[in-house]
Amino acid sequence: SGGDAYADALSFLRPHGAVVLVGLPKDTYITAEVFGSVLNSHRIIGSYVGNRQDSIEALKLAAAGDVSTTYTIEKLENLPSVFERMAAGKLAGRIVLDCE
């Protein structure tokens, strides 16, 4: 997660493509191969918050089924372990707590 996800996103860009960096993963850096980035006119954009149009486009993608999520279901009794793994930066995706 974090830097690896951003690196993957950069590697999948088409010519004139852009990757938008959202979220603030702790101690995460990205690197871009300069020659290919310049040759292909790639753009790297940081966005702290989206706007209304971003939300509309994101909802359209989700409604079309073009969004997949990474999540794990954990029992509520595992909450201390979930917090420990989260603090250690060892979680990928989201954790859904089963309260039953």
Render pLDDT for 29-80 as a digit per residue (tens, 0 to 9).
888 889 999 999 999 988 777 777 887 888 898 889 887 778 899 999 999 9
pTM across the whole model? 0.45
Say how far residue 19 (Cα) sits from the centre of its chain. Answer: 11
Dist CA 81 CA 44 (whole Å): 35
Point out the least confidently predicted range of 2-6, 81-85, 96-100.
2-6
Cα 38–Cα 18–Cα 6 angle in degrees, nearest 5: 95
Q: Which domains does the chain have, with CATH numbers?
A: 1-67 (3.40.50.720), 69-100 (no CATH)
Dist CA 9 CA 97 (whole Å): 29
